[in-house]
Amino acid sequence: MKPLTEDHLAIYRRHMVEVIDIHFDLLSDELGKSHLGESLRTALLKVPRHVFVPRELIMAAYQDGPLPIGFDKTISQPFIAALMVDQLDVQPDDKVLEIGTGYGYQAALLAELARHVFSIDVVEEFIEMAEARVQALCYDNVTLRVGDGSRGWPDEAPFDKILVTAAGEEIPEALAEQLKPGGRLVMPLGGQDVQQIKRIEKRANGELATHAIMPARFTPLEIV
């Protein structure tokens, strides 16, 4: 078989976005919208998802499903990744915290949308792999570190937006504290078997308003 070219990969990316569009249309009642935001669409068409999966899975990188990346973790289904970023409503001047870096795909998407992205993973090897990838793609607005994501990143707080890509039964207190008033946090919440992706908005008085988006299943947030 011939090797994949950049033209082939661009076609796969376009197909991936078309499938995401179908999901958004089918779930328009639940999501309150029937299409992706244009800035996120542009990011999805630009960021090379195949760079952020194990080499042996490159052919499956743009399929609409999660893929294993080691350490009992996965890279999320493209639709779920897009949905969670879309629900954040990232603005160009936002400072964003991501919990659960993996190979760095969502950090790269966020970097296309935000002023700066800070991303934490408990797995040191993931941070090393993500660092190599975001540097190779010249994302100079991404800062990564190894750590317990449930504690957030106090030295860089507060954040306009927080994305958590692992599940918990409740929002970690540190993350709620590090979210700016008027900010948004998106996270899967629930028990080990079934969770709901939820959007949490922090009001001016510090209260949290929670909106359920859709059911999902994520690996649990590790606390160390």
Name the residues annotated as catalytic.
76
Residue that has been written with the tokens 């630009």 in this structure: 46
Does residue 92 contact residue 120 with C-beta atoms inside 8 Å? no
What are the DSSP calls for 180-224, one per residue?
Answer: EEEEEEEEEEE-SS-EEEEEEEE-TTS-EEEEEEEEE--PBPP--
Question: Which residue, 46, 28, 44, 114, is CA-closest to 76?
Answer: 44
One-letter amino acid identity for 175?
L
Phi, psi of 116 (to 5 degrees): -150, 145
Q: Is the distance from CB of 50 to CB of 61 less than 8 angstroms?
A: yes
